[in-house]
Structure 1
Amino acid sequence: MAAKASRGELASPLGELLSRLGTQAEVAELLGASVDTVSRWGRNRTRPDRANARRLLDAVRSKLAPTMTSQELDSIIAGQARFTTPDATSGSPIPGPADWPPSADVENAVSGAQELAELLGGRVVSDTTLDLCSRQLTRLSTEFVHRPPEVWLPPLLTLWKQLRKILLAGTHPRQTRPLYVLSGMTSVVLAHGCHVVGNSDEGLVLARTAEGLAEAIDHHELTAWALGTRALITDTLTKRSPVDDSPLDLIDRALALLGSSRSTGLVRLHLYRSRFAAKEGSHHVVMDAQRDALRARELVDEGTGDLDAVGGVLTFPRAKHMALSAGVSVMTSQFDEARRAADLAITAYEQGPETERSLGDLAIARLDKATAEAAKGQLDAAEAAARPVLDLRDADQIAPLMPALQRFARQLGAREIRGRTTRELREQIAGLGGSRGLPGGTIPA
């Protein structure tokens, strides 16, 4: 049998807490870490990252202290406090016979306890149901990337309704966190779905719902993703209401939450920051954010985040990184860099797994390459790059394509490259989008 941690390892508050949970081997198995890693934590050589700290908090709540907060655990990890448990012999003295409550009060207390136990027992969702919902979310998040909305949107709505019904009925304390995480992720994926089909107001409501669920359980990664989604959708609004924060303000709040996270969500936030700054003409912010995104990409450990583990639309791969960079470069008139980044994105999507081939982002990268070619006067190359997008069926002409189409149309409208080809392309662009067509006046005359 493995031995408990040595006395030297108990010198740190974290080491003492780990020893309360079991042997190093038992703790390692409990947290999904190596024995060496647990040993280093106990000797204060290293500290658990955010994902391991969450798993440690869940273990402590399950085995030692159900009411421990993440702030209390952070203090123990930082060596600022030690873990203590209530002393069963301390507190008020045991009442004597004269102090005992009347028998009626005792009966009422027992009856109330029985009712509470029955209520809690009735609110437990079966593990099979939770597992099924989790698998559905993973599948739909992946299908979101490489299949059209008519495939994934109806079952995603059904999943959200099922989870909402469970939440409204009340959750068992043991299941609150996993249900809130699952529901928050589903809500934010559905918010992205609303963005894709052009329902901005509904998307904002769902993103705020995901944010509220995440904040209730102190899930910084999910909160930051929801804030990023709010920023993305807010950026598409033609008019903002007084309650809408600016996209850049939302991104700054999200970045403050993630800190030095190794999830791809941090890369996403930096690139969103560069995009929104480009629209405002803050070129120094654009460059800083692009550099921050590259540094964050170098440090990514895709297995550390809850959202990266689900994948699909809840992760931010390199191909999407390049696609978004191409759009920012077009917005800042860096057309050589835009063409290079768009080519990298297109190649990555075309050569990568089909399940990771984002149809929308691939189309946007092609349009941004077409815009860069048009800016260089290469009309044949521009038409060749844009042709796969211009020939899309109506159902695949999703709302996020519209800004890239506008950029392409404006470039085609430049006086020095006007001609028959550009007129024909502008006329074809003007007819795209169906009910999500471009607003009047966005195509140069």
Structure 2
Amino acid sequence: MGARVRMLRGEGMGDTGIGALLIRLRTERGWTQQRVADEYNALEGRATKTGKEIGRYEREARIPVPYTRRYLAQVFGVDIGALDRAVAVSKSRQDGAKAVEAAPARPVAPSRSGAVSADAVVSADFAQFIAQRNADEFVVEQLEADVARLARAYVSHPLMELYIEIKRLRDGAFELLRGRQHPRQTADLYVAASRLCGLSAHVCLDLGDYDSAATHARTARACAEAVGHEGMLAWVRAVESLIAYWTGRYEQAARLAQAGRHHRAPGSIGARLASLEARALAIVGDRVGAVAALADAERSREAMAGHDEVPGVFAFPAAKQFAYAGTTNLAVGGREHVQQAIASADTAIRLYRSAEDDDQSVGDLFAAHVDLARGHLLLGDLDGTEAMLGFVLGSPPERMSASIVRRLTALGRELGGPQYGGAAQATYLRERLQHTAVLAASPAAHSPELPT
């Protein structure tokens, strides 16, 4: 009992570095690194840590900052002072190693060649160059936390609330990468820059600026390729597939999604890519391929390895997968698939409604309601169509992305078809859809206030 109390207080750990201490605390509990990350995320209330990140702390590839140490202390039930002292030990050792590495060579005796002495000075100067950094572990960790926060907020908050901060952080990451930092911090900065470019691409997608979206996506892919980040490489292919889809290049959208599935990436990205492929194939009339890709998406979900490193727009929740399945089944067509589309869209809405507020994707809720409305329309149920459109038509137009505007416009055209014979209800719904689409497409609805 006495030893346990001393450990909780951090006694008896005087010369233990933070890496060794974290390994010891984890192994005593029989936990994996992912279990530590899960416990941490549960305490913090958001999914910001992964098992990989805990491994970095244990290897001392990164030193946990005070904010992180506070939660790690709670995870392991020890006094934070124990972690602070261990960090001091690790930093002292690292500083000592740097001093040895950076120490200039001893002057060579005058009888030796002056060229040798001058050569040693060059090495010493380079050692000092290495020591000069514009980013430390705190800067990188804060940037990663900001990216995770924005990625989660993106799906549920008005776009223009986040645009300026995404741009500011992205430009800041570019500036840091133009400077000097430790190679491992450079790698982390490239990943953060890739994600911020990915968020920028999504902003442009939602505004309907597909050329700019493609530019940001290419830069996101370049950053991911620079460090070989398989997860981001796969995710960027998904964005590129989206761009191709919304610019009418459906076969290319399917090919890009297929290309993304070649990356060995953890988390839900496999289900996302298969769902994108299914929707694109359905549009070009490949019913067999679309149904097969939907099945692949389900298998990917069931066999999902690991967790998504970043939440929100970088994850692909089951609710979103059901929303995509609904759209795909509508495109496949036929009464059976239309009924399946209605069931899938209804499930997507139910799952989103039961999620936390920050995880309720407004765009996917709009899309699922439009799909439900169209499903009822295809079954000849105008009352059901009107009921399903109530959520969309009663929402602020500025919350609607370019893709939702296109869905509303297409549904309005469909309501004007001869099969409805100019029915008053169909005419009323068509006019309301057209009015909402015009308001949502107005530049005033999506005009970011750029910093002056």
TM over 0.5: yes
Residue aligning to 1:127: 137
Give 1:247's match in structure 2, choosing from 220, 228, 253. 253
Alignment of 1:2-401 (within 5 A): 34=32, 103-237=113-247, 246-258=252-264, 261-301=265-305, 304-305=306-307, 308-333=308-333, 334-401=337-404
Tell me, in whole angstroms, the C-alpha distance in 2 between the residues paired with 1:102 and 1:233.
66
Tell me, in whole angstroms, the C-alpha distance in 2 between the residues paired with 1:54 and 1:227.
25
Could you tell me how far 1:52 is from its partner in structure 2? 7.6
The answer for unaligned runs of 5 or more in structure 1 is: 1-20, 38-50, 64-100, 439-445
Between 247-256 and 316-325, report the one with greater CA deviation. Answer: 247-256
Specify the code of the residue in structure 2 equivalent to 1:311: P
Compared CA separation, residues 55 and 222, structure 1 to 2 (3 A): farther
Between 426-435 and 350-359, report the one with greater CA deviation. Answer: 426-435
Tell me, in whole angstroms, the C-alpha distance in 2 between the residues paired with 1:199 and 1:52.
37
Count of residues in correspondence between the two structures: 356
Tell me, in whole angstroms, the C-alpha distance in 2 between the residues paired with 1:172 and 1:161.
20
Query: Contact (CA 8 Å) 2:134, 2:179: kept in 1 or not?
Result: no
Query: Contact (CA 8 Å) 2:136, 2:185: kept in 1 or not?
Result: no
Residue aligning to 1:413: 416
Specify the code of the residue in structure 2 equivalent to 1:392: S
Compared CA separation, residues 57 and 396, structure 1 to 2 (3 A): closer
Tell me, in whole angstroms, the C-alpha distance in 1 between the residues paired with 2:332 and 2:189.
43
Deviations 1:215-260 (A, max 9, x none): 111111110101110111122125x7xxx992222112211113xx
Specify the code of the residue in structure 2 equivalent to 1:364: A
Between 196-205 and 399-408, report the one with greater CA deviation. Answer: 399-408
Query: Contact (CA 8 Å) 1:377, 1:417: kept in 2 or not?
Result: no
Could you tell me how far 1:56 is from its partner in structure 2? 7.8
Tell me, in whole angstroms, the C-alpha distance in 1 between the residues paired with 2:175 and 2:59.
30
Query: Contact (CA 8 Å) 2:412, 2:431: kept in 1 or not?
Result: no
Specify the code of the residue in structure 2 equivalent to 1:327: T
Compared CA separation, residues 349 and 34, structure 1 to 2 (3 A): closer
Give 2:431's match in structure 1, choosing from 415, 419, 427. 427
Query: Contact (CA 8 Å) 2:393, 2:436: kept in 1 or not?
Result: yes
- After TM superposition, the score normalised by the length of structure 2 is 0.71
Could you tell me how far 1:339 is from its partner in structure 2? 0.7
Compared CA separation, residues 324 and 267, structure 1 to 2 (3 A): same
Could you tell me how far 1:110 is from its partner in structure 2? 2.3
Tell me, in whole angstroms, the C-alpha distance in 2 between the residues paired with 1:403 and 1:337.
23
Query: Contact (CA 8 Å) 1:227, 1:254: kept in 2 or not?
Result: yes
Compared CA separation, residues 176 and 231, structure 1 to 2 (3 A): same
- After TM superposition, the score normalised by the length of structure 1 is 0.72
Specify the code of the residue in structure 2 equivalent to 1:141: A
Query: Contact (CA 8 Å) 1:264, 1:316: kept in 2 or not?
Result: yes
Query: Contact (CA 8 Å) 1:430, 1:437: kept in 2 or not?
Result: no
Tell me, what secondary structure is at the counterpart of 2:364?
helix
Query: Contact (CA 8 Å) 1:397, 1:432: kept in 2 or not?
Result: no
Compared CA separation, residues 359 and 52, structure 1 to 2 (3 A): closer
Query: Contact (CA 8 Å) 2:323, 2:344: kept in 1 or not?
Result: yes
Tell me, in whole angstroms, the C-alpha distance in 1 between the residues paired with 2:408 and 2:387.
15
**CA RMSD of the aligned region, Å?**
3.3
Specify the code of the residue in structure 1 equivalent to 2:340: E
Query: Contact (CA 8 Å) 2:156, 2:357: kept in 1 or not?
Result: yes
Tell me, what secondary structure is at the counterpart of 1:432?
helix
Could you tell me how far 1:170 is from its partner in structure 2? 4.1
